Structure 1
Amino acid sequence: MGGRRTSRQVEGHEIAGMTRLAFIKNGRTYFLTELVIYADGMVDCGNLVDLDEFERKVRSGRVATTFEDGAQASAHHLAGWTMSSSQPWVSAGDLIGEVRDTVDGLAGRPDSTDRCLAALGSYLDDQTEVNRQALLDAYLAVPAHLRTYMLGDMDYRDWPVQAVAAGIGGDGPGGTKVSEGMHARALVYFADRRASEPGWPWRKHRASDREVRPAVLVPQAVYPQGVETAPPIHGLRNSYPCRLDVFDADFPDVETAWHALSVLDDDLRARIAAAPRPYDAMKLARDAPKRPGWDALRESVMLTLLRAKYSQNPLLAEVLLGTGDREIHYDEFTGSHWGTRGRNWMGRLLEVVRSDLHVNRAGLISDGPAPSSSWR
């Protein structure tokens, strides 16, 4: 649906975006806010998530499409009100479908309407039962609230598509059975449309000069109920528990190792390595003197830690390989260096390690680059 265009910067290039109003549930209150949907499949709905996580938020009611009577609602700096006899226009599934369509449109790919029009063209060229069923499937895949607009004709709306997709005797517009006369009128409509508009049905979206492929987001994560409850993608977080033996020492996770290696004092380094949580390791290291030239070392040290993590933890290597060849965005609320709010160095280094894993599997080298045997 219509919104304003926007964008965000990722690693020096601009990712197009589009806004759409939605309700975000926080506690017992529904807040009217803007979703920001980006061409790489990221959605900002209070925090940046990928499409899979966005779907989970919609299905769970965090991004709301239904409202109970008596619920409190708020529009920031505008008004607050109490819900009563609300009439939602969009179901959870249709909102998810609309957002996925918006991503496809921003990226220059055919969306569900385009795919339906392509199936319609195939059926009109060859009116077989196989093509009719393909058309029906494509029609039903278009979010219900967007079907009215697919023909760009507000006099006829989408009933001609329904009539030919359902077929004679099928369930057509308004739940009525499609009669032979209705089916014939629909075919005449399409014949007239093709005669007056050469090349119709056309696609709204054309491939862009720079293809924008869906990215995968490594989201911020806390584990109040233990890591066993976390989605697999959280295994790519530096704070995720996994033993690693690197730089002649043993660490419980990458983040703790990072903080320990950053400090100059040997005793403090040992205390940080033994910290009960990554957060405690960060607090111990925060104000301690850093190694000389640490800012020039940090990317290489982090890459070494990541290579150790994924070479020594095969299950986590499978999670990383499962991201395919998609860009990896690492969400980090603080700092401008490691996460998507800055230079996204963590995402870039994870892609390098993923490439290492592919090289190892291909047998081109036997092992990834080995870290130095000690760190003093």
Structure 2
Amino acid sequence: MDGQTIDGAWCHVWRRRPWDDRHFIDDLIVFADGAVKCEEWTDLPGLEKLLESGDIAVTEPGAPTAPAPPSKWRARYGEPLTPQGFLLEVADKVEELSGRPTAGQRCWEAIRRFQRDPSEPNRAVLREAYLAVPPHLRVFVLGDMDHQDRPLRILLTEVGEAVDGDGPVATPDMHQQALDYFNQVDQAVARAQEQRAERYADDPAEAGQAAFTSLETVCPQGWPEALGPFVLRNEYPVPVEFAGETYPSVIHGYWALSAADPLDHDRIRDAPSVRDAREMGGRVERRADWPDVRLAVMEGLLEVKFTQHPALAEILLATGDSVISYTGLSDSSFWRDAGDGRGRNWVGRLLELTRARLVARGTFPEAVLSHGPGRGRRCPE
């Protein structure tokens, strides 16, 4: 909106049709600025009125209600979803989308405060923060599927009273055990953070660049003289010398090296266009070991392409540390990023590997002199 992105979230609700009072499933969308949309635009007070009138329902109208648990203390699931609880959840989602503390985060802040000073005023603050969490979500507030929110419910029960009304009678020892639980959680989190810091000590301190998408390019009038991102494409016509042969493009080299018959290899190598090379390569008999070596061949072709042509290497290096998404239609989903979960994006991944080697070669030249591309490289036989 006006060049600004406003974050949002959505869920399903039941909306009532005005002409027959029947409900149907619809999308309810809430935005960081508090705007709410379900067919029409409204806000949180407007949503409250829609919920009170029954025009929007949060559970299926007419469906049987779940039986109440025989014991609240023994129950392993949360409170039922109600319109009031849903409204609290939507308001909390606005806080989250806006980058402000949620009810769950405020509850944890109150827990920390009570840990530091387990006084009655701080217990009252903790009780208020806990009750601000939507009732149907309270069992999840601690993120503990075993204990759920029981340690909190124990802490908030006065000594001498039954927890949840039908549970054990709260004692000072139970309160201390609940406090010990939170202290143990803190210790476990601290240990996990230390271990994570050790395991991921070499992670970048800053976020990486946005993903770079390599688009398939068609140039009927010839490729532009000024170099651009299109040089990353395998069909870009630049000679590559690999395994004692020179190929007009990576595509020529890949399909030629896949051929079982040396005569087919030469015909593909000498094909007048990338399209011809690809079509010829798709028709000839493939080497028996091709499934095992094709990744190595593609890796080798890409490395010599960019080491033998420094101007092209500069384009690849300009992508920084971006993930490279190699898209298009001419390549199989094994090589490209199909965008539907089926694409393996192997060309993109190998481009990233080639880029890393180019950086390493500039940083550690002595370490890579004997491993540089084109030095004694041979196509696997």
The structure where strand makes up a greater share of residues is: 1
Larger RCO, structures 1/2 (Cα 8 Å, 6+ apart):
1
- Structure with the greater alpha carbon radius of gyration: 2
Shorter-chain TM-score: which interval? 0.3 to 0.5
